[in-house]
C-alpha cells in the first residue's frame, strides 16, 4: 500500500469533463486520481477524509495574473487615459522594494489558494522571481513578459528570452512551465513578434499577448497616431521606421503570422471578422472581469460568441494594479453579472476546464489519471443546486482544496462585532 493513498468522501462530485458522481468516494495516490465513483467500498487501507456533506469541483484556474505587481495595490489610481495609467504603473513598479514585491507576491498567492485556485497563468518580467514562484504550490504557466518597439533590438531581446528558457527547462513532473508573452501590439515591434513566435514554435512553449484591450490600440495600429504614439515617443521607445499597418489588432497579428495558438488576453474591441480569425488560428482567450470593471470599461469581450466558435476561454484576475482583489470567487460572481447570457455552470466551466485549455496545461478534471487538483464546498441544504455554492455572496473561501494530492483545509474566519 502506498503511504500517499488517500480517500475523500463526498456528497457530489462534478468532473466538468465527463460523468458526475453522487454520495461517493475519490481515491488519490501519488498526487493523481486513481478512482472516482458513486457509493463507497466497505474498507479502505489508507487515509480517509470525510467530506460527505461537500461538493467537489476541479480547482480553479487563474488564467491571467501578474502576481509580481501585487505590491502596487492601492498605489495606482484609475486614470482617464489608459496611457497615464501605464505610466503610473511603470513609476510605482520601479519604486517598489524587492522585499515588498516578494512579500506581496506570497500574500496574494495565499488569497488565490483560499479562494480555490490550483493552477495559475502568470505574467512576470523579473527572472529573479522564479525562485519565489517555485515555492508556490500551484501548477503554473509563467509567461516572460517582453517589450521592445524598436526593431533593431528584436534579436537581442529574443536571445535573452531564449537563454532564460534554456536555463530553466521544465522537467518531467515539474509544476512550472515557462512561456513567452510579447506584451501588446503597441509595445512590441513586428520583428520582435516574429522572433518570439519562432522561438515558441521551436521550443513548444505557450505564447500569450494583451490584445485589443482599449480603443486607443486600434487607433494606433489603424492610423499610426494617438495616445500610444505619444507614449512611445515620450519614453524614447518609438521606432521612426515603423509604418502603421492600417489594421485592427487581431488582423494585424494575423498578417504578421503570429496569431496562431496565441493566448489572447482581454479582446475587448473586436472587428466583425475577428472571431473567425481567432478560431481559424486556434487562438484561445482569457476574460478578466474584475480588471475590466475596475477600469470602468463599457465594452468587453463577447465571451459567448467566442465559445460558440469553439474558442477556449478562461478567467483571470489580472493584477492588483487594475483590480481590487485577487479573490477568484469575486471573479466568478462578477462574471455572472457581466455575462448574463451564461449559466452559472458555464461560468464554472470557464473557471476550470476553460482556463486549463487556454493555458494548454495538462487536462484538469476529476477523472482517473489526472492530477488531484480539486476544491470543496459544503452544502448548506440538501436541495441546493451544486452550481450555486461558489456564488454565495458571503463566501470568500473554499472549504478545502487539494493541489497535486496535498490537502489544504481552509479555516473560515467569522468576524464578531461587539
What is the rounded distance in angstroms from the CA atom of residue 114 to the CA atom of residue 108?
10
What is the rounded distance in angstroms from the CA atom of residue 223 to the CA atom of residue 153?
24
Q: Is the CB of residue 98 less than 8 Å from the CB of residue 110? A: no
Q: How much is the pLDDT for 3? A: 63
Q: How much is the pLDDT for 18? A: 83
Q: Is the CB of residue 275 less than 8 Å from the CB of residue 267? A: no
CA 190 and chain centroid, separation: 25
All three cell numbers of 59, joined, read 480547482
Angle at 384 between CA 380 and CA 388, to 5 degrees: 95
3-state secondary structure the chain: CCCCCEEEEEEEECCCCCCCEEEEEEEEECCEEEEEEEECCCCCCCEEEEEEEEEEEECEEEEEECHHHHHHCCCCCCCCCHHHHHHHHHHHHHHCCHHHHHHHHHHHHHHHHHCCEEEEEEEECCHHHHHHHHCCCCEEEEEEEECECCHHHHHHHHHHHHHHHHHCCCCCCCCEEEEEEECCCCCECHHHHHHHHHHHHHHCCCEEEEECCCHHHHHHHHHCCCHHHHHHHHCCCCCCCCCCCCCCHHHHHHHHCCCCCCEEEECCCCCCCHHHHHHHCCCEEEECHHHHHHCCCCCCCCHHHHHHCCCCEEECCECCCCCCCCCHHHHHHHHHHHCCCCCHHHHHHHHHHHHHHHHCCCCCCCCCCCECCEEEEECCCCCCCHHHHHHCCCCCCCCEEEECCEEEECCCCCCCCC
Answer whether 0.85 is exceeded by the pTM: yes
In this structure, what are the phi and psi dihedrals at residue 48, rounded to the nearest 5 degrees?
A: -115, 130
Q: Write down the residue that cell numbers 515603423 correspond to.
A: 242
3-state secondary structure 214-278: CHHHHHHHHHCCCHHHHHHHHCCCCCCCCCCCCCCHHHHHHHHCCCCCCEEEECCCCCCCHHHHH
For residue 264, which of 303, 208, 192, 193 has the smallest C-alpha distance? 208
Over its C-alpha atoms, the chain yields an Rg (Å, rounded) of: 22
pLDDT per residue of the chain (418 residues) written in tens, 0 to 9: 456 799 999 999 999 988 899 999 999 999 999 999 999 987 888 899 999 999 999 999 999 999 999 999 999 999 999 999 999 999 999 999 999 999 999 999 999 999 999 999 999 999 999 999 999 999 999 999 999 999 999 999 999 999 999 988 765 456 899 999 999 999 999 999 999 999 999 999 999 999 999 999 999 999 999 999 999 999 999 999 999 999 999 999 999 999 999 999 999 999 989 999 999 999 999 999 999 999 999 988 899 999 999 999 999 999 999 999 999 999 999 999 999 999 999 999 999 999 999 999 876 678 888 899 999 999 987 678 999 999 998 899 999 999 999 988 876 544 333 3
Angle at 90 between CA 248 and CA 256, to 5 degrees: 25
Q: How much is the pLDDT for 382? A: 66
Amino acid at each position: 500500500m502506498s503511504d500517499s493513498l488517500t480517500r475523500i468522501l463526498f456528497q457530489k462530485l462534478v468532473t466538468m469533463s465527463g460523468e458526475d458522481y453522487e454520495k461517493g468516494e475519490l481515491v488519490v495516490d501519488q498526487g493523481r486520481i486513481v478512482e472516482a465513483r458513486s457509493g463507497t467500498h466497505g474498507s479502505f487501507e489508507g487515509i480517509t477524509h470525510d467530506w460527505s456533506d461537500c461538493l467537489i469541483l476541479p480547482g480553479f484556474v487563474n488564467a491571467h495574473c501578474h502576481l509580481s505587481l501585487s505590491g502596487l495595490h492601492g498605489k495606482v489610481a484609475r486614470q482617464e487615459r489608459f496611457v497615464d495609467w501605464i505610466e503610473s504603473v511603470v513609476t510605482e513598479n520601479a519604486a517598489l522594494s524587492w522585499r515588498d514585491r516578494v512579500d506581496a507576491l506570497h500574500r496574494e498567492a495565499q488569497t488565490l489558494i483560499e479562494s480555490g485556485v490550483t493552477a495559475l497563468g502568470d505574467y512576470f518580467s523579473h527572472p529573479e522571481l522564479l525562485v519565489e514562484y517555485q515555492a508556490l504550490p500551484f501548477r503554473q504557466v509563467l509567461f516572460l513578459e517582453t517589450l521592445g518597439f524598436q526593431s533593431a533590438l528584436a534579436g537581442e531581446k529574443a536571445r535573452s528570452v531564449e537563454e532564460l528558457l534554456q536555463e530553466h527547462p521544465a522537467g518531467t513532473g515539474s509544476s512550472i512551465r515557462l512561456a513567452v508573452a510579447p506584451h501588446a501590439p503597441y509595445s512590441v515591434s513586428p520583428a520582435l513578434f516574429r522572433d518570439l513566435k519562432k522561438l515558441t514554435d521551436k521550443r513548444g512553449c505557450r505564447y500569450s499577448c494583451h490584445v485589443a484591450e482599449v480603443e486607443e490600440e486600434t487607433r494606433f495600429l489603424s492610423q499610426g497616431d494617438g495616445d500610444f504614439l505619444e507614449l512611445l515617443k515620450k519614453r524614447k521607445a518609438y521606432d521612426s521606421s515603423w509604418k502603421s499597418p492600417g489594421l485592427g489588432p487581431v488582423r494585424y497579428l494575423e498578417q504578421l503570422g503570429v496569431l496562431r495558438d496565441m493566448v489572447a488576453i482581454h479582446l475587448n474591441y473586436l472587428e466583425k471578422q475577428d472571431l473567425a480569425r481567432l478560431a481559424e488560428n486556434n487562438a484561445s482567450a482569457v476574460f478578466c472581469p474584475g480588471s475590466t470593471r475596475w477600469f470602468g470599461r463599457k465594452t468587453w469581450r463577447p465571451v459567448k460568441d467566442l465559445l460558440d466558435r469553439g474558442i477556449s476561454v478562461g478567467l483571470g484576475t489580472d493584477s492588483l494594479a487594475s483590480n481590487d482583489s485577487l479573490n477568484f470567487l469575486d471573479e466568478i460572481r462578477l462574471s455572472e453579472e457581466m455575462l448574463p447570457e451564461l449559466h452559472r455552470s458555464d461560468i464554472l466551466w470557464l473557471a476550470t476546464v476553460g482556463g486549463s485549455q487556454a493555458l494548454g496545461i495538462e487536462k484538469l478534471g476529476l477523472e482517473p489519471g489526472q492530477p488531484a487538483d480539486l476544491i470543496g464546498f459544503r452544502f448548506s441544504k440538501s436541495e441546493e443546486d451544486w452550481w450555486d455554492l461558489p456564488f454565495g455572496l458571503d463566501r470568500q473561501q473554499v472549504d478545502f482544496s487539494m493541489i497535486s494530492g496535498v490537502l489544504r483545509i481552509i479555516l473560515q474566519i467569522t468576524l464578531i462585532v461587539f
